[in-house]
């Protein structure tokens, strides 16, 4: 049994996915840690719906690309011999939806990825979701920053 003082501990974690390159990394990381504590993992992907459309418009359900985000997460978790429960949401604001979902799921950890964007010379654009989650999440938040590619470092 690992020492709880030295490792990240959670019983139920929400893993926020954005369909980017960091998704597989955070799922693998979450699965690796969750295995030690037999914790439950919930993969959440939020599709932002602008105000021109109704919130329950048939958008995410019809999109292969959106479905694939969660399918890939499930597959990555299976490769790590772990189970992840996928949840697909439509919301006006991604950060608020993640916080509310984590609250409803009674998660004690919310894991997010911070991808490295290569455009415009390479950057970590923290955006508005991470600050919102850091400020409002009722549970611990773990932001996993992607490593800077060697050629950019």
Partner 1 sequence: MIGGRRPLKGRKLADRRVRIERPHAAYFRWSGPGQLTAKESASRPTTPLGRLWARVKAAVIGRPLASEDEIGERLSKKKALAIFSSDAISSSAYATEEILRVLILGGAAALVLGLQVSIAIAVLLIAVAISYRQVCLAYPTGGGSYSVSKRNFGRGASLVAASALLIDYVMTVAVSTSSAVEQITSAVPALIDERVLIGVAAIALITIGNLRGIREAGNIFAVPTYLFLGSALLMIGIGVYRIVILGEHGAYDPNQLIRQTGETAEGVGLLLLVRAFAAGAVALTGTEAIATGVPAFKPPEARNAATTLAIMAALLGTLFIGITFVAVNFGITHLELPEQQTVISQVARRTYGDGTIPFFLFQSFTAVLLFLAANTSFNAFPRLLAILAKDGFMPRQFALRGDRLAFSYGIIVLATVAAGLVILFRGETHLLIPLYAVGVFIDFTISQAGMIRHWLRERTPGWRRRLTINTFGCVLTAIVAVVVTTAKAPQSLLVLLLIPCLVGLMRFIHRQYDAQAEELRVRDDTVIAGPHREQRVVVPINGINRAVVQALNFARTVSGDVRAVFVTDDEAEGEELRARWERQFPGLPLVIVESPYRAVVSPVVAYLDVLDQAWPPDKEAPITIVVLPEYVARHWWDRVLYNQTARRMKAALVGREHTVIADVPYRRSH
In angstroms, the Cα distances linking 127 to 15, 46, 66, 111 are 18, 15, 20, 16
> Could you tell me how many residues of this chain bind partner 1 (CB under 8 A)?
32
Binding flag, residue 46, partner 1 (CB under 8 A): yes
Binding mask 70-89 for partner 1 (x = CB under 8 A): xx--xx----------xxxx
Q: Does 42 bind partner 1 (CB under 8 A)?
A: no
- Token readout for 105 is 């799921």
Query: Considering the rule CB under 8 A, would residue 56 count as an interface residue with partner 1?
Result: yes
Site for partner 1 contains 54 (CB under 8 A): yes
C-beta contacts of 48-52 below 8 A and 24+ residues apart: 48/91, 48/92, 48/93, 48/94, 49/90, 49/91, 49/92, 50/92, 51/92
If the CB atoms of residues 86 and 113 are measured against partner 1, the closer one turns out to be: 86
Q: Does 104 bind partner 1 (CB under 8 A)?
A: yes
135 near partner 1, judged by CB under 8 A: no
Residues 86, 90, 91, 93, Cα dihedral to 10°: 60
The residue from 9, 24, 96, 143 that contacts partner 1 (CB under 8 A) is 96
Candidate list 25, 40, 80, 100; residue touching partner 1; CB under 8 A: 100
């Amino acid at each position: 049994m690992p020492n709880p003082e030295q490792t990240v501990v959670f019983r139920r974690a929400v893993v926020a996915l954005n369909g980017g390159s960091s998704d597989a990394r955070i799922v693998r990381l979450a699965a690796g840690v969750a295995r030690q504590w037999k914790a439950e993992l919930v993969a959440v992907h939020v599709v932002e719906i602008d105000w021109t459309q109704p919130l329950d418009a048939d958008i995410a359900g019809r999109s292969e690309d959106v479905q694939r985000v969660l399918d890939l997460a499930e597959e990555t978790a299976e490769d790590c011999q772990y189970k992840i429960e996928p949840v697909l949401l439509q919301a006006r604001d991604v950060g608020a939806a993640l916080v509310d979902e984590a609250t409803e799921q009674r998660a004690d950890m919310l894991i997010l990825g911070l991808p490295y964007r290569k455009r415009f010379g390479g950057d970590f654009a923290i955006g508005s979701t991470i600050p919102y989650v850091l400020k409002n999440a009722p549970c611990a938040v773990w932001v996993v920053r992607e490593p800077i590619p060697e050629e950019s470092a």
